[in-house]
Amino acid sequence: MKRLYVRKAWRHCGFGRHLVALCLRDAAEMGYQKMSLETIGFLKQAIGLYKSMGFQETPGPDVSPPDTIIYMEIPLKSPSNCIYTQSSTFDF
């Protein structure tokens, strides 16, 4: 997952969680086995969201990234028993 960003006005209303859930569901439906991401250490709310959804920190690639980058991943379930099908309604 790359470059997921929620504008300040949409934060704290479940929109970010819903977007992540849709990404996880779609990746599982496409046959992916896991979802990986990288984030920056000072994005505490994003890290908390990812952890609450089951992402775990993992070692990054063998290149020398800055110490501030955090790598995370989550195994994906098969679409038939996917828990990421939360349906939420948002008024735009």
Q: Tell me the residue length of the chain.
A: 92
pTM over 0.85: no
- Amino acid letter, 91: D
What CA–CA distance (Å, rounded) separates 30 from 10? Answer: 28
- What topology is assigned to 8-81 in CATH? Aminopeptidase (3.40.630)
Task: For residue range 25-38, list pLDDT tens digits in order.
Answer: 999 999 999 999 99
Domain edges within the chain? 8-81
What's the mean pLDDT when you consider all of the chain?
83
Using the predicted structure, report yes or no on whether residue 17 has a pLDDT greater than 70: yes
Token couple for 65: 């990234």
Task: For residue range 40-53, list pLDDT tens digits in order.
Answer: 989 999 999 999 99
Give the H or E element holding residue 45. helix 44-52
Residue 11: per-residue pLDDT:
85
**Three-class DSSP category at 8:** helix
Q: Is the dihedral of CA 6, 79, 85, 52 positive or negative?
A: negative
